[in-house]
Amino acid sequence: MPGIRGPSEYSQEPSRHPCLKINAKEPFNAEPPRLALISSYVTPTDFFYKRNHGPIPIVDDIERYYFTITGLTDYPKQLFMKDIQNLPKYNVTATLQCAGNRRTAMSQTKTVKGVGWDVAAIGNAVWGGAKLADVLELAGIPHLTSATPSGGKHVEFVSIDKCKEENGGPYKASIPLSQATNPVADVLLAYEMNGETLNRDHGYPLRVIVPGVIGARSVKWLDSINIIAEECQGFFMQKDYKMFPPSVNWDNIDWSTRKPQMDFPVQCAICSLEDFNITSHGKITIKGYAASGGGRGIERVDISIDGGKTWVEASRHQKAGIPYIADGTSSDKWAWVFFEANADIPKSAEIVAKAVDIAANVQPENVETIWNLRGILNTSWHRVQVRVGHSNM
């Protein structure tokens, strides 16, 4: 690809913030500390989780970079950055979450395969760019199109990076054409993150943002867009990121029996406390995040200090000075909410948080009921232990 290349080794990786917890070095996968994650409603770029499947691409000449739109469309296109920047620009506040967020806790029940994430493989950013619906109009595909005349029903995004899972080929994923051409879905081709040009880790020069959907579909370092009849047949659509029941193991798995995961379920996590805590007094503040996929707002976050026997409702907020209403027009529909509750705990306590979205979806109580061999979508009640006393250290 002119102007940009996907290296096959890791000698030219970008620098990263030293506070990140590194879960894998090559490819680089890391998350911020819990407390840092909730220090700001909009996650600073340095603290936004890094999820990669290969070496980070390198831009040699941004003026020469372009991507193509081909496939089942009558008007294939070759577009440069100036073509995208000449379209109306939109800023969309959206939370991205890795499907493997909280995988480490799931693995404690029974070993799973995948990068060991704590609770911070999630972040909220203001993404700036052109709506994909407007970009596809340049290729002759109108807004609100479910199928092209030649049978295209899905939009495949192909990256420039190289992945071992694709035998050295690029990462790829797809979404339905009906979603891609719907301006209300807010799917972006983004060139900015938090008001600044994308950095290399997050997809410079151009990436896809699919709000409300697991992060695996928001392809970085865009190389091409293909209009196709069926879902993308790439590894990460067909042989990964699918939700299986606890009965499925590596001996009896049949990947073809499940659809690729898209929306992420309702989720919350306590971030002001670690898994095990010692405090000198019983008065504590419990803070964290809650989010749900598909643009579903958070109706409630419940907190228990007795392992789930009794509950109180936490306060919820997004932007300072603006009351949060789960389906309100002043709320960011694609973004997380922060929650907060004060508690006076006894000598020891199991603190639990669970969220409910506007469709009354609620997190499952136990991880055992949603265990799956790839360790994705651990949305069970989040539990931390607190003891009042003094550390022996």
DSSP string, 136-201: HHHTT--TT-SS-TT---EEEEEESS-BGGGTTB--EEEEEHHHHT-GGG--EEEEEETTEE--GG
- Does residue 27 have a cis bond before it (omega within 30 degrees)? yes
In the predicted structure, residue 164 carries a pLDDT above the cut 50: yes
CB contact at 8 A, 123 and 37 = yes
**Mean model confidence pLDDT for the chain:** 97
Q: Model confidence over 45-61: pLDDT tens digits? A: 999 999 999 999 999 99
CB atoms within 10 A of CB 299: 20
Residue/partner pairs of 148-152 with CB below 8 Å, 24 or more apart:
148/72, 148/73, 148/74, 148/177, 148/227, 149/74, 150/72, 150/73, 150/74, 151/72, 151/229, 152/71, 152/72, 152/73, 152/177, 152/227, 152/228, 152/229
The reported pLDDT for the residue numbered 389 is 86
pLDDT score, position 2 = 87
Is the distance from CB of 54 to CB of 6 less than 8 angstroms?
yes
Q: What percent of the chain has pLDDT over 70?
A: 99
Asked whether the predicted pLDDT for residue 392 surpasses 60, the reply is: no
Q: For 30-41, what is the mean pLDDT? A: 97
pLDDT, tens digit (0-9, with 9 covering 90-100), for 241-260: 999 999 999 999 999 999 99
Instruction: Please state the separation of Cα 348 from the chain's center in Å.
Output: 34
Asked if residue 270 lies in contact with residue 286, where contact means CB atoms within 8 angstroms, the answer is yes
User: For 144-167, what is the mean pLDDT?
Assistant: 97
pLDDT bin (cut points 50, 70, 90) of residue 393 is: very low
pLDDT reported for residue 281: 85
Nearest in space to 285 (alpha carbons), one of 384, 362, 390, 393: 384
Count of other CB atoms within 10 angstroms of residue 381:
19
Q: Which two tokens mark 237?
A: 């659509």
Tracing tokens 């409630």 back to the chain, one arrives at: 300
Q: Where are the alpha helices (DSSP H) in the chain?
A: 34-37, 81-85, 103-109, 132-138, 177-180, 235-238
The pair of three-digit structure tokens given for residue 381, joined into one six-digit string: 């009640």
pLDDT at 1: 77
Q: What integer pLDDT is reported at residue 188 of this predicted model? A: 99
Residue type, 373: L
pLDDT digits (tens, 9 = 90+) for 274-317: 999 999 888 999 999 999 999 999 999 999 999 999 999 999 99
pLDDT tens digits along 203-241: 999 999 999 999 999 999 999 999 999 999 999 999 999
- For residues 364-392, average pLDDT: 93
Going by the DSSP 8-state scheme, the letter that residue 20 receives in this structure is S
Ramachandran category for residue 283: left, alpha or beta (phi over 0 → left; psi -120 to 50 → alpha): beta
Q: Are strands 337-344 and 283-291 parallel, antiparallel or unpaired?
A: antiparallel
Instruction: Provide the 3-class DSSP secondary structure of residue 217.
Output: helix
Location of structure tokens 């006393």? 389
